[in-house]
Structures are given as structure tokens and as C-alpha cells.
Amino acid sequence: MALRPHVQAALAADSEAMARIADYLGYSGNYPAACALYQDIRRAREQATGAEGRGTLSARAGLAHWSGEDGNPAGARDQLAELLPVCERVLGVDDVDTLTVRASLARWTGAGGDAATARRMFAELLPDCQRVRGNDHLDTLTVRARLATATGQSGDPATARDQYAGIAPDRARILGPDHPDTLTARANCAYWTGEVGDPATARDQFHVVVADRTRVLGAHHPDTLTARANLARWTGEAGDPAAARDQLTELLPVRGKVLGAGHHDISTMRDDLKRWTHASEQDR
């Protein structure tokens, strides 16, 4: 990361400003750089305030989050499982940082392959967030969204679709129609619409999401590229394997450059490309 030595020269390693820079890098799609900075922040905060200082616990949570985003959900889950009892003991069970760690643990538990447990964890967390944070707080909205995802992954795509259909307008009202979280809710509603058995509607919804994410986030942002991959999938599922093949052929080198050739999403895309290439040949 070319920015890292300049940031380290200008900001204290244990500062909140340094954490904001790390998060900025992560939300911009540079997950490895975010992880590297959070490693530095954690070490500096441990030296400054101890292993159980609030800032140190926050840095551990940030490192776990971006580790998961960088393709290591099991590692994120394990870090958070170790962190949560410390937060509950030191900060209290109703502390907002403790609730955030619970939400992150549930999320990466699901991403690590245990959707049923994640669904249960989110269902238990939601009333606590509503009580402590309120119905319209961003953290409460996020827990609702994570619960919807875990619900779909647990085998109930229709409920997930309906939950996201309610979340998207709430996020648009509170955050604005172009906020990345609003776009994510729309993308997830489209995804579960396809999973319910309506690939044509999912394709049409992803077409709009791709255009909006490109405009708001940029053409090479990981979320934009994920939406393009989903557009290709539902294009194929809707009956046009040749178009799906062509979309993935164009997307694969771009996504590989952004995420890295070894990222698990790249392997999935290669399999999808083989699938739609074969299907298009069968249609000839």
C-alpha cells in the first residue's frame, strides 16, 4: 500500500484517525491494506492502553471484520468468538461495541458455512439492538439484513426475499437511495428473488443494481463486480447462457485483478464460466 508509510508518518498508530484510514481502505475494496493497518493499530493500542482497553478491543474487531472481507470468514469467526466474552466482561452485554461484536460473530459464522446458527444468533440479537439502539439505527438495520441473509441461506429464500423487500425502502428512507447499504439491500432482494425461482426478475433487478453501483462506487469496486457476477448468473438462469458466458468472460480478468487470482470468488466464477460455456454450446 503506497499510502501506508505516509499515513504512519502523519498519524499516531493508536489514533482513531488511523482506524478511519484503515476502514476507508477497506470500504474502498483494499481489504489486505485494511488488515495490515489494523494489525499496526492493535499492537499500538495494546502498548498504550492494555490488552483489554476499549480501543484495543475495537481494533481486534476491525481486524476480524476485514479479515473476513479479505476471504477468511472462518478466521474472522474464530477471532470474534475469542473477543466476545472479553467484551461482555469488560464492557457489558448491552454496550454498543459488544452488540457490534455479536453481530459480526453471527455474520462470519454464517459466511463460514453455518447459516442455521447465524440465523439463530441474529434472531436473538435483533430485539437487543432494537431495545438499545432503536428501530431506525443503522446497526439495527444491519442486523435485520444479516438475519434475512441467514434465513435464505438456511433454506427459506422466500422469507429472505420478503425481508429484504422491507429493508431496502427503510434503508433508502434513512440513508438515501444511493447509499451503499441501500444498494446492497436491493442486490440481496434480487438475489433471493432468483433463488425463489424468478430468474428473469432477478436479472432485471441486477441490471439496475450494476448500473447504480458503477455510478456510486465505481466500476472496479468489489461490490460492483459481485453484482456483475450475479447479473451473469441470473442471465443464464433466465435462458440466455451465451450472454452469461460473454459477461463472465469480460468480468473474470477484471475481478481477478482486483481480488487476486487465489480468491475463492474467482474459482467460483471459473466454474460458472465453464457451466455457461457448456450450456451455450448445447443450445447451438
Does the pLDDT at position 1 exceed 60? no
pLDDT digits (tens, 9 = 90+) for 82-140: 999 999 999 999 999 999 999 999 999 999 999 999 999 999 999 999 999 999 999 99
Nearest-angstrom CA–CA distance, 27 and 196: 30
Residues 209 and 282 in one domain: yes
Instruction: Quote the pLDDT of residue 260.
Output: 80
Residues 152 and 239 in one domain: no
Residues 12 and 97 in one domain: no
Task: Give the total number of structural domains in the chain.
Answer: 3
Residues 94 and 158 in one domain: yes
Q: With contact defined as beta carbons under 8 Å apart, do 226 and 192 qualify?
A: no
Residues 66 and 107 in one domain: no
Residues 33 and 84 in one domain: no
Residues 265 and 232 in one domain: yes
Q: What is the pTM of this model?
A: 0.77
Residues 44 and 91 in one domain: no
Looking at every residue in the chain, the average pLDDT score rounds to 93
Residues 81 and 166 in one domain: yes
Answer with the one of 134, 157, 176 that is the final residue of a domain.
176
The answer to whether position 238 is within a domain reads yes
Instruction: Quote the pLDDT of residue 261.
Output: 77
The answer to whether position 107 is within a domain reads yes
- Domain containing 81 equals 72-176
Nearest-angstrom CA–CA distance, 149 and 188: 8
The answer to whether position 15 is within a domain reads yes
Residues 132 and 171 in one domain: yes
- The CATH number of residue 212's host domain is 1.25.40.10
